[in-house]
Amino acid sequence: MKFLAAAAALAVATAAPALAVAAPAKPAASKRIVLPADVRPDRYDITIRPDAANLKFSGVAKIDVTVLKPTDRIVLNAADLAFGKVGLAGRDAAPKIVLDDQQQTAAFVFDKPLTPGKYTLSIDYTGKIYQQASGLFALDYEDADGTKHRALFTQFENSDARRFAPMWDEPGVKSVFSLSVEAPAGQMAVSNMPGTEQDAGGRHLVRFADSPKMSSYLLFLALGDFERIHKQVGKTDVGVIVRKGDAARGEFALDAAVKLLPYYEDWFGTPYPLPKLDLVAGPGNSQFFAAMENWGAIFYFDYALLIDPKLSTEADKQNVFIVVAHEMAHQWFGDLVTMAWWDDLWLNEGFASWMENKATDHFHPEWKVWLSTQAGQQSAMRLDSRAGTHPVIADIPDVFAAANAFDAITYQKGQAVIRMLETYVGEDAFRAGVQAYIKDHAYRNAVSGDLWNALGKVAPSKKVVDVAHDFLLQPGVPLIRAKEVGSGVVLTQERFGVDASQRKPQTWRTPVAVQAANGQWQELVSATAPKTVPAQAPVVINAGQTGYLRSAYSPDLWAKLTPDFPKLSAADQLGLLYDSRALGEAGLAPMSDFLALAKNTPADADPVVVDALSGQLGALDWLYDGRSGQAAYRTFARARLAPVAARLGWDSKAGESDNAAVTRRTVLSQLGELGDAATVAEARRRFDAWLNDPSTLTGAQRRTVLSIVAANADPATWEAIHEKAKASKDATDRARLYAYLGSSADPALADRTLALALSGEPQPTEVPGLIAAVSGMFPDKAYDFAIANRAKLEEFLEPTSRITYFAGLGDGSRDPAMLDKLARLKATVPASTRGEVEKAEAAVRYRLGVIKDRVPEMDRWLSANGG
């Protein structure tokens, strides 16, 4: 699943010295709430009869089971299902049905115990079709001529297959699935396997071939007015399925999939095992995810799969390729081999996040994706240095707590640790270990130790298991300090933490790359084992930025390094920018270190470096919140970005890189948010021309102008964008236009947007995004509105992500009152799901500290050095 990270928090972490500590142990598991293991499902035969118009369906499930030991009941998962006839082959008496709505289970209790053996359980039932992405759900859209349509899709991760059919809805229970659906004539039905059409008493029935053994959350069904484009790749029929008329917009994704499939087959050393692989597009949005790796039938929201030359940007193109790469990597890591329980979710998501970058860099090195991915790693480090963090391998007591694991720790830290380990072990050895792991666990479940054991066998001289355990079984970020000594540079380790929960002494065996004028070194550094290297300044710590760590230089080393900043690699420039800001906000280094680097970053630096600098300057601006020093700070920030904007201009240039085009949009949009008068004026001029002639703006130009104008909107501008949103027939464009309404800095327009969100005008999947857009400028206003309308808003939210959504609205607050509000929210949710609220509390608490202690420091430096 391609997780949608919340907006990046605006403050980073601080640190405290670490002392010698014991190596980490795997967290003790709470008493895990799972289904009884005395009955095993072997094969499901499920028939679905949708009633899309009335948002309901009926189903029949025939489940072949093996009773492993005597029991009087069969217990499985079910949520929002109503049961009709239930029977067990060989038993005349119907079982008693006992429902547990809290744990989402159904127990079928028999009058006499079942003896071990094979049985078939038959269940008639009915269920709901939702209007948000959970279970079987509907997405509505209009053709260009205004004709309305409704398409059906499924989304089951992490625990919503139980809303589609009664089943063992746990990742560690793999079974064969046979699915059939009664489809309206003329509509296409799609599932994991190829289907055949049959006439069933006058009804149009599509029966799909049996799936391989797989986990329940990977089952998929789609039904609608679709068309399919496809190409044969070896033995696999690769297709992209879109709404009728959208075929041309799917060509880029199809081309990506055709390239990626043989690459993955070669890299994993295992052929793709299914006869077909479909990429299925659906209109709308989720507040939680962009795409889902259903085996053989990957679902994507339109914006993550389709490219429209009139609307899409260079960044959209890159994103589509990356998301396709992510989900296709799951076909091996996640689908063929699946984690045994949600505590090892990182085995799926961390690996796919790493593999998406490796594959993308292979085919598009010009995009420099390893540089761009550092931004995601920073999000993980910010979260990982505050209260509310968790180990990558965390205790997950139940499926409801699993939602807490879909975060930057699992995805971005997970992929960062994998990249660090690949660098430490070596590419060839790492790949050989992964191939052995895939072969040994195909069609089965695995735990983290299985992967580390495989890597340890191919790299016996490396401390693979030790390093992996240190970074995966305990939370936190190591801080590597570098200090010049007579024999070279000594490297020591501390812990980077911003509050009491993160100041407990801790150690990691950390691979550290050092680069200096006289050579390169790689050392394993820990709190108990400092290392000295014969490096001569200037010295770069974490050279190449492949380690998951913060770097801190002694004043002497910093003074010798910074004059060479323009000569450093783009990766190391990024590392210095990110670390200097983090250390400065944490009080471990002067804020002037970051500000001076920002001032001296060349306007012709690599586009990814400029892009990151722009984001960092915008994040610091958020801390001011109208304070007296904001004008001086904005003058400083605009002076950094204006030369870049002047060099790039507003219009694309022949021969420029995709990354330059991405940076143009980022820099101009940031200047607009910083109130740059010339930028805002030019955006308004182009916006007015677009209102008269929509052909004047396309792609990135259109998005750039709209973002600037919307951020500085007056009521007339807001209404003009509103009219465009209502008129748009493209689901992705419509959702973006509605979101622009929430980005205005005018509080009155924020109130209008919030009222609009629940007015019934936006599509159901657009509602959460509208409120979230307001939270970008007015987190307290958006949070208060959402809580005041919580019951109504929850109808538009996916059940497993509701707490994450509410907490995320308040995450960016600069008001101490938000802490009391979040505490009240936390008291209303089960203990196992409070982690998301605690993350938000920690973000707000730390931001308030940075505003109090670091903003005045910035003001003093700007007074002396700004401009």
Enzyme catalytic residues? 327
Write the DSSP assignment of 65-86 as a string of letters.
EEE-S-EEEEEEE-SSEEEEEE
**Count of residues in the chain:** 867
Per-residue tokens: 173: 């229970």
Task: Please tell me whether residue 552 adopts helix, strand or coil conformation.
Answer: strand
Tokens 């959209």, located at residue: 316
Whether the CB-CB separation of 751 and 781 falls below 8 Å is answered with: yes
Residue 736: phi and psi, rounded to 5, are: -70, -40
Token match 């699992």: residue? 410
Measured over the CA atoms of residue 864, residue 636, residue 8 and residue 779, the dihedral's sign is positive
Q: Which residue, chain included where needed, has tokens 């992967």?
A: 451
- Nearest-Å Rg of the Cα atoms of the chain is 27
Which class for 572: exposed (0-12), middle (13-18), buried (19 or more C-beta within 10 A)?
A: buried
Burial of 84 (0-12, 13-18, 19+ CB in 10 A): exposed
CA distance 756 to 661: 33
Q: Residue 587, by phi and psi: left (phi above 0), alpha (psi -120 to 50) or beta?
A: left
Rounded CA gap, 517 and 235, in Å?
A: 52
Concatenate the DSSP letters of all residues of 242-272 into one string.
EETT-GGGGHHHHHHHHHHHHHHHHHHTS--
DSSP annotation of 846:
H
Q: What one-character-per-residue DSSP string does 617-681 give?
A: HHHHHHHHTT-TTHHHHHHHHHHHHHHHHHHH-SS--TT--HHHHHHHHHHHHHHHHTT-HHHHH
Give φ, ψ of 622 to 5 degrees. Answer: -60, -30
Strand order in the sheet with 105-114: 71-77, 105-114, 96-100
Q: How far, in Å, are 42, 97, 324 from residue 63 at the CA level?
A: 7, 16, 33
252-255: long-range pairs with CB below 8 Å, 24+: 252/307, 252/317, 252/320, 252/321, 253/279, 253/300, 253/305, 253/306, 253/307, 253/320, 253/324, 254/229, 254/230, 254/279
Alpha-carbon distance 791 to 828, whole Å?
Answer: 13
Cα 12 to chain centroid, rounded? 19
